[in-house]
Amino acid sequence: MAQLENIARRARYKPMLRRLFTQSLCPSLRRISDMAALQNTQKKFLSSPNFAVVGASKDPTKFGTKILKWYQERKLKITPVHPKESELEGVTTVKSLKELVSPSETSVSIVTPAKVTLSVLKEAKELGVPTLWIQPGAEDAAVVEFIKDNDLEERVIYGGPCLLVEGDRIKSLL
């Protein structure tokens, strides 16, 4: 593992080698060289004064609702985004990110099917949302391509990390 980290570190300074290493040779380890950047994005995400979750529902077994409850249990200022429901878990919803009081000061968790995730990302980019956390299962190749094509990699957490698993550990580092 140390040898892989050393290769990734050197690759950081050689874009062609980095691209080869992270995309062709070792796709599952594409973020080894970016672990510090990932952790910084996670810290920035959880340092936000406001949070929103897209994908919560009335079903308590769904991960969107579990994410919403995670924020509530930690007394964080959370707004669920839902196109039809007016309230979830006792919290008033908004129909879209555009209805958030201050989208540019809100970190957004996305727990939706990939096609919906792509439209949420486009809206978030347009509104200047500072950080987004795409939960596992909410992305596909088109979502990843959009993130890379729009230079959003430093603002979007994707590719596996889950707020329910990583959230408390990252909060403890703040």
Express each pLDDT in 45-64 by its tens digit: 999 999 999 999 999 999 99
pLDDT of 38: 84
Task: Give 96-129 pLDDT, tens digit per residue.
Answer: 999 999 999 999 999 999 999 999 999 999 999 9
On whether the 34-172 domain is CATH 3.40.50.720, my answer is yes
CB atoms within 10 A of CB 67: 26
Q: What is the mean pLDDT of residues 135-144?
A: 94
Least confident segment among 2-16, 59-73, 79-93, 98-112: 2-16
- pTM of the predicted model as reported, rounded to 2 decimal places: 0.79
Alpha-carbon span 145 to 38, nearest angstrom: 18
Percent of the chain clearing pLDDT 90 (strictly above): 70
pLDDT of 26: 44
Alpha-carbon span 144 to 158, nearest angstrom: 8
Task: Give 12-45 pLDDT, tens digit per residue.
Answer: 555 544 554 545 444 444 445 577 788 889 999 9
Q: Is the pLDDT of residue 131 over 80?
A: yes
Residue extents of the structural domains in the chain:
1-30, 34-172
Q: What is the mean pLDDT of residues 138-153?
A: 94
Could you tell me the two tokens for 96?
């879209």
Contacts 24+ apart (CB under 8 A), 124-127: 124/97, 125/150, 125/152, 127/97, 127/98, 127/100, 127/103
